[in-house]
Amino acid sequence: MSIDLACMTFSALMAGQTPWRVLLACVLVVAVNAAGRVYEPRILPSSLDRGFWLAGAGLVATLAAFWESASLTVAVIAAALFVFLAFCGRCVFQAAVRAARRRGGIKPAVVVGANPHGHRLASALLGFPEYGLLPIGFLDEETDRDTGPPVLGTPDDLAEIFHAHEVRAVVIAGREGQDLARAARELGCEVYLAPAPDDLVLDFAPLREHVRSFPLLRMRPDPQTRLTWPLKRALDIAVALVGLVISAPILAVCALLVRWEIGPGVLFRQRRVGCGGRPIELIKLRTLKPVDAHESATRWSIAHDRRLGPVGKALRKSSLDELPQLWNVLKGDMSIVGPRPERPYFVDQFSATTPGYRLRHRVPVGITGWAQIHGLRGDTSIEDRARFDNHYIDDWSLRTDFKIMLRTAWSLLRPGGS
């Protein structure tokens, strides 16, 4: 990115552009390249990677930024100069990276699976240090193998080996190791899956990485580590602030109706499980008074409770009882979009019986979510909800958040929707 900024700044200045047009051109070229995944990390980048996209980004940025301030010929020449400089800059940078790796600047790595495929992969990494990974040993259930790099331990020993050998990358040779892969990512390692060359998955997954033509699939980073994640929090704050201001009169009317039907105690506070398993205090409008705290913490659904009055039923059907949770979003306990938070009693139950349930807590919980817009709310399948929530996390993007918010708004506004 810094190479593109420097090259576009120089090209724009040579074209006689004003400072603000130079800045606009820089912002545009970085934005277009980011959209084209030009800046995604590569194990062995090439100067020709995404070359056509880079050229297109330079042309788009100069034409848009130089509009009415330079002729078409000047803009095209500036774009060509940018592409030439960016290409040369990448050549120099990548040559320096490869030279540094050959001198020993490589990351200690472990290969999971001391099978023939794992040994061939380790040999390729040892023979070609420009790939930047140094296999210091294997993790394997059979620890008595004596050929090639040593077997440092079993996959269960990953955390200990990580600290003892300063491991920075994990390469999984085969299709095993799902839990290990997530544990390695949490430790801060780069994680790669290295399927065998004849593995069927290679006919479905796009291949962008390889080691001497051994295919590698890089594990996606956690959503919280992506550059766009801070924008999710900014969006949460903006939506929560606007929502609280707009809904203030509605909240006041609802509170008066609740006070009339139930009596004192309009707001309902309940302990829920948030991001990372941490407890949060969720706020809602009260729709029914429980007999005691135990009932509040352990009763699954009150949708058909006879004690539920007309006001409570209307609030629950319209989801207006959820409006105070905008304050939870503003505090940072929740997000607008995310898996719905559940009570600790049920989290323990579902985690013991439902595969992947605890994985829902990798991101902040939300007011609405992917499961909710597909009708999975209230007394519905926990297994389905966990699957939908984990799919949302694995495939998270700001575009998905906007989609969920729009569909939620539509479900609230359409007749009979909630």
Question: For the chain, what is the radius of gyration of the CA atoms?
Answer: 27
Where is mean pLDDT largest: 93-107, 179-193, 359-373?
359-373
218, 209 Cβ separation under 8 angstroms: yes
pLDDT score for 371: 92
pLDDT score for 417: 47
Indicate the DSSP class of residue 322.
Answer: G
Angle at 148 between CA 145 and CA 153, to 5 degrees: 50
pLDDT score for 83: 87
Rounded mean pLDDT, 26-47? 83
pLDDT score for 63: 87
Structure tokens at 123: 């040999």
Give the integer Cα–Cα distance in Å for 405 and 331.
19
For the chain, give the percent of residues with pLDDT over 90.
Answer: 26
Distances (CA, A) of 345 to 102, 271, 386: 55, 10, 16
DSSP string, 200-238: GGGGTSPP-EEETTEEEEEPPPPGGGSTTHHHHHHHHHH
Indicate the DSSP class of residue 149.
Answer: S
Rounded mean pLDDT, 4-15? 88
- The answer, yes or no, to whether residue 413 has pLDDT greater than 60, is yes
Q: What is the mean pLDDT of the chain?
A: 85
Structure tokens at 79: 């774009």
